[in-house]
Amino acid sequence: MSIRSVSKSWTRSNLIGLLVFIAFIGTLPLWVRTPYALSNMVLIGIYSLVTIGLCLLMGYAGQISLGQAAFFGLGAYGSGILTVHFGWSPWIALLIAAVITAVIAYFIGIPMFRLRSHYLAMGTLAFGAIVTIVMNEWKVYTGGPTGLPGIPRFTLGAIPIKSDIAYYYLAWGTVIIGLIIALNLVRSRFGRALRAIHDSEPAAQSLGVDVDRYKLITLVISSIYASVAGSLYAHYIIFISPNAFDFSVSVRLVLMVAVGGLASIWGAPFGTAVVILLTMALREIVPLLTRYGSGEHQIIAYGLLLVVIMIFMPDGLTVALVRAWRRLLNSETLRRRLSAYRRRP
Amino acid sequence: MPDYGLSDYLQFVLSGLSTGSIYVLIALGLIAIYNVTGVVNLAQGEFVMLGAMFAVTLVGLHIPIGFAFIGSVLGVVLVGMLIQRLTIHPARHAPEVSLIIITIGTAIALRGLALLFWGTTPRSLPEFSPGPPLNVMGAILSRQRIWIMGTAGVVLLLLYLFFEFTLLGKAVRACSINRRASELLGINPELMSLLSYALGAGLGAIGGIVIAPLTLVDYNMGLVLGLKGFVAAIMGGLVNMPAAVIGGLALGVLESFTSGFLSSGIKDAVAFLTLFIILLARTTSIKTTLQEKRAQRQARPKGR
């Protein structure tokens, strides 16, 4: 698994890339036809925020998290409970929920990072499971398995942010801010330390990098990303239930990061989009193929995709596609054909 | 808190031991695979699920339970070997993160395939020896639980004999102790990896078949069981089988008491909390911390 080469600051091509991306996202609603597609775009945005944070944790700090959905859920339920049961403003609730999540992540992280990868994987899985159980059992505040309804909308002054379009811009605006922060982090001293840790922990430690502290900070950062996304989710869907934050969601988040390339910040929203669009497509196709017709069959595709990508394309789908494209452009036969074409009068 | 008598406590212990036996079987499978290949098979629970599912299908075809048992185990062993060949072997040089994700992906794919073949309706298996539950000193124990504990005991004995007295068993042990050295001695480590997966799959399948009559068999049953088996396995550091046995039984009993005294919804949390506590205990050893502090104090220049 390679991490692409370091650049010290924002090069011109990176800035152009960012502006192109912003333009693309900004104009997307204009040519998206159906409300169904637009709401999926909103969800892609929300989940992208989680995966950017997870990418920092998994790709750069090299830590497996099978419980990221728990942080997502903590943000969602935090916002939900504070606004529904205590009547707080959604914006304040978002901040407080993020703080709470960050604190929980900090205390979870302290013991966990001494563990080797497989223990950490199981530890995060267990954490996620405990959070799910709390969501299900603490019925007074969370409403238990039947969920928490009636979550209010974000408001700008007196105007609620209700329509899909408004929410689209809110979500993706946050994603872009998150992207910029993450990209800056990765290019900074912090990011270089993370890369050193990823390549060789003992070597990094011998150079004076406080490995445990960096891993912990990355975990807290990723939990904040997930929590903010969770709050956005809660105020979008208005009704949340525990099964939106369980282990299978954590797995899907890992898949999104893997598809985008574990060590690629830009890959995170791309991988998220691929997985969600794939889910949409599968939901249409699978009922036509099998008599069961339940959308659950998509998990086969997830599993197979994970395995195939990890074996053949550990740098992610983006890099593999780019490589394949370059190989196609460089191929001898193509060049010969093009030059033959050019020589004709 | 309800008023419990001695026979109730005995009931908790016995039913806990039988549930714990399942965790033991799953844990032994995990350890068998990890010892030889170094891979933590997060798909172990799916072997359990497949064992139960295969048995249900075979029994549904009116095959007697004994043959269904053997057939199911052989089927899952085959699946396990296929998985080793197709997913682990090609990635054997990949970093640990990749391997873990691969096993997760395999687990999900297996779950999905089970969903495809068997649908969402839960299945059930009839008890091995139908009849009223037995009364052991006031504790009511279903006959199937006796089967579970008995099977686990027999499996443990067979494993012991295998590893201690057969050439193949010793080869597997050698490979788990030192792969390269055993290669030099003529043992084929690739074959050993394959065999360890076969063993792990078989153990999981046995666990699944014996617990099937007591629980709902559906495509999702592997997840939680696999996790609990993992908890038992790490009590032995993923390498120590006897410790995992004790750990698995203890976990079962702990769950049983939690279910009796608190609520059965919480009992799953017991395994996760136990996992947490063990992980904490493994990493923060008090003795080492004290040693470190002493060394730090001595290394600091005087007068600071």
Q: Least CA distance to B43: which residue of chain A? A: A303
Kindly report the nearest CA distance between residue B96 and chain A, in angstroms: 7
**Cα–chain-centroid distance for residue B145?**
17
Q: Residue B295's pLDDT is what?
A: 61
Q: Is residue B84 pLDDT above 80, yes or no?
A: yes
Q: Residue B253's pLDDT is what?
A: 92
- B120 contacts on A by Cβ (under 8 Å): 292, 294, 296
B134-136/B139-141 β-pairing: antiparallel
- Helices and strands per DSSP (H, E), number in chain B: 12, 2
What whole-number distance in Å separates Cα of residue B68 and Cα of residue A79?
Answer: 52
Q: Residue A231's pLDDT is what?
A: 93
* pLDDT tens for each residue of B90-117: 888 777 777 888 888 899 889 888 888 8
Kindly report the nearest CA distance between residue B6 and chain A, in angstroms: 30
What whole-number distance in Å separates Cα of residue B266 and Cα of residue B243?
Answer: 25
- A286 contacts on B by Cβ (under 8 Å): none
User: Does the beta carbon of B164 lie under 8 angstroms from any beta carbon of chain A?
Assistant: no
Please list, in sequence order, all residues whose beta carbon lies within 8 angstroms of the beta carbon of residue A145, skipping any fewer than 6 positions away. A136, A241, A242, A243
**C-beta atoms of B109 and A251 within 8 A:** no
* pLDDT tens for each residue of A273-284: 988 888 887 777
Kindly report the nearest CA distance between residue B5 and chain A, in angstroms: 29
pLDDT band at A272 (very low <50, low <70, confident <90, very high): very high
Q: Is residue A248 pLDDT above 90, yes or no?
A: no
What's the average model confidence in pLDDT over B81-86? 93
Query: ∠ at Cα B239 (B233, B242), nearest 5°?
Result: 70
Kindly report the nearest CA distance between residue A155 and chain B, in angstroms: 38
Q: Which residue carries 């979870």 as its tokens?
A: A108
- B42 contacts on A by Cβ (under 8 Å): 121
Q: Residue B304's pLDDT is what?
A: 42
User: Does the beta carbon of A303 lie under 8 angstroms from any beta carbon of chain B?
Assistant: yes
Report the SS3 class of residue B135. strand
Q: Would you kindly state where each structural domain of chain B is located, as residue ranges?
A: 6-299
- A300 contacts on B by Cβ (under 8 Å): 108-109, 112-113, 115-116
* pLDDT tens for each residue of B139-174: 788 888 888 999 999 999 999 999 889 988 888 888
What's the average model confidence in pLDDT over A174-189? 89
Q: Which A positions 197-216 lie with beta carbon below 8 A of chain B?
A: none
Q: Residue B289's pLDDT is what?
A: 47
pLDDT band at A306 (very low <50, low <70, confident <90, very high): confident
Q: Least CA distance to B270: which residue of chain A? A: A130
Instruction: Give the highest mean pLDDT range of A12-21, A26-35, A103-112, B270-279.
Output: A103-112
Q: Least CA distance to B226: which residue of chain A? A: A122
What whole-number distance in Å separates Cα of residue A15 and Cα of residue B137?
Answer: 77
Q: Residue B286's pLDDT is what?
A: 40
Higher pLDDT: B261 or B160? It is: B160
Q: Residue A343's pLDDT is what?
A: 59
What whole-number distance in Å separates Cα of residue B199 and Cα of residue B158?
Answer: 12
Q: Which of B110, B230, B283 sits opposite A114 (nearest CB)?
A: B283
- A136 contacts on B by Cβ (under 8 Å): 265
What whole-number distance in Å separates Cα of residue A67 and Cα of residue B137?
Answer: 44
- A311 contacts on B by Cβ (under 8 Å): 87, 90-91, 94, 98, 102
- B228 contacts on A by Cβ (under 8 Å): none
- B265 contacts on A by Cβ (under 8 Å): 133, 136-137
Closest CA to A278 of A286, A288, A267: A286
Mean pLDDT of chain B: 85
Q: Which residue carries 């169904």 as its tokens?
A: A36
Kindly report the nearest CA distance between residue A18 and chain B, in angstroms: 30
CB A309 within 8 A of CB A258: yes
Q: Which of B94, B101, B282 sits opposite A254 (nearest CB)?
A: B101
Mean pLDDT of chain A: 82
Kindly report the nearest CA distance between residue A20 and chain B, in angstroms: 32
User: Does the beta carbon of A52 lie under 8 angstroms from any beta carbon of chain B?
Assistant: no
Q: Which of A112, A133, A299 sits opposite B112 (nearest CB)?
A: A299
Higher pLDDT: A138 or B2? It is: A138
pLDDT band at B202 (very low <50, low <70, confident <90, very high): very high
Q: Residue A150's pLDDT is what?
A: 78
- B281 contacts on A by Cβ (under 8 Å): none
SS3 readout for B168-220: HHHHHHHHHHCHHHHHHCCCCHHHHHHHHHHHHHHHHHHHHHHHHHHCCECCC
Q: Residue A49's pLDDT is what?
A: 95
B85: phi > 0 → left, psi -120 to 50 → alpha, else beta; which? alpha
Q: What's the pTM?
A: 0.80
Kindly report the nearest CA distance between residue B120 and chain A, in angstroms: 9
Q: Residue A9's pLDDT is what?
A: 55
Determine which of A161-170, B2-11, B118-127 has the lowest per-residue pLDDT on average. Answer: B2-11
What's the average model confidence in pLDDT over A244-264? 85
Kindly report the nearest CA distance between residue A32 and chain B, in angstroms: 32
What whole-number distance in Å separates Cα of residue B266 and Cα of residue A174?
Answer: 37
Q: Residue A213's pLDDT is what?
A: 84
Determine which of A171-175, A223-227, A264-268, B45-49 has the lowest per-residue pLDDT on average. Answer: A264-268
Q: What is the CATH number of domain B6-299?
A: 1.10.3470
Q: Is residue A145 pLDDT above 70, yes or no?
A: yes
Q: Which of A1, A64, A302 sits opposite B100 (nearest CB)?
A: A64
Which candidate in A108, A311, A313, A315 is best for mutational testing of the B interface (most B CBs within 10 A)? A311
> How many percent of chain B have pLDDT more than 70?
92
Q: Cα-Cα-Cα-Cα dihedral of B143, B146, B152, B154, to 10°?
A: -110
CB B91 within 8 A of CB A308: no
Which candidate in A139, A211, A306 is best for mutational testing of the B interface (most B CBs within 10 A)? A306
* pLDDT tens for each residue of A54-86: 999 888 777 888 889 999 999 999 999 888 888
Q: Which A positions 237-256 lie with beta carbon below 8 A of chain B?
A: 247, 251, 254-255
Higher pLDDT: A317 or A208? It is: A208
- A58 contacts on B by Cβ (under 8 Å): 97
pLDDT band at A2 (very low <50, low <70, confident <90, very high): very low
Asked: is A12-314 a CATH 1.10.3470 domain? The reply is yes
User: Does the beta carbon of B278 lie under 8 angstroms from any beta carbon of chain A?
Assistant: no
Q: Is residue B285 pLDDT above 60, yes or no?
A: no
Higher pLDDT: A337 or B149? It is: B149
Q: Least CA distance to B104: which residue of chain A? A: A303
Q: Is residue A181 pLDDT above 60, yes or no?
A: yes
User: Does the beta carbon of A306 lie under 8 angstroms from any beta carbon of chain B?
Assistant: yes
Q: Residue A335's pLDDT is what?
A: 67
